[in-house]
Amino acid sequence: MRIIETLHAPVTQQWQPAKTSPTGLFLRLIRKKRTIVYLIPSEGYFLTAFVFGEKATEAARKSNLPPPVIAALNAARVYAEGRGLRLETRTRDNMLTMLKLAEITMTL
């Protein structure tokens, strides 16, 4: 994702094995030691996955993200690392939402 690499440079790409991906891999975009987003390739689209701590969750709730995204975030199970959120990215609007979520991740 060149746009994320440009907006949050320097970004490292790290391919890792994934049992849940049709390709058997996922891409992790990292800045310093912080993961920005996980990208999981699928047939004709990809899943974007985020982990939000409490501050990022609150920032997302207060943002202008689409209501279904906020609902998915609110319904996400809470783990020690935070709330895991996976969204299908198929359209330009999906991409803009993913970029907004990445921005929230990087500002906190």
pLDDT digits (tens, 9 = 90+) for 39-75: 999 888 999 999 999 999 999 999 999 999 999 999 9
pLDDT score, position 31: 93
Cβ atoms of residues 4 and 99 within 8 Å: yes
Kind plus residue range of the DSSP H or E element containing 99: helix 92-107
Per-residue pLDDT tens digits for 14-49: 999 988 777 889 999 999 989 999 999 988 899 999
What's the confidence (pLDDT) of residue 39? 94
pLDDT of residue 8: 83
3-state secondary structure of 12: strand
Strands of the sheet with 82-89, listed across from one edge? 12-17, 25-31, 34-42, 45-52, 82-89, 78-79
Count CA within 13 A, CB hemisphere, residue 84: 8
B/e letters for 48-84, b = 16+ CB within 10 Å, e = fewer, are bbbbbeeebbebbeeeebeeebbeebeebeeeeebbe
| CATH pick for 2-107 out of 2.40.50, 3.90.1150, 3.40.1130, 3.60.70 | 3.90.1150
Q: Which residues, including other chains, have CB under 8 Å from residue 24's CB and lie 6 or more apart? A: 17, 18
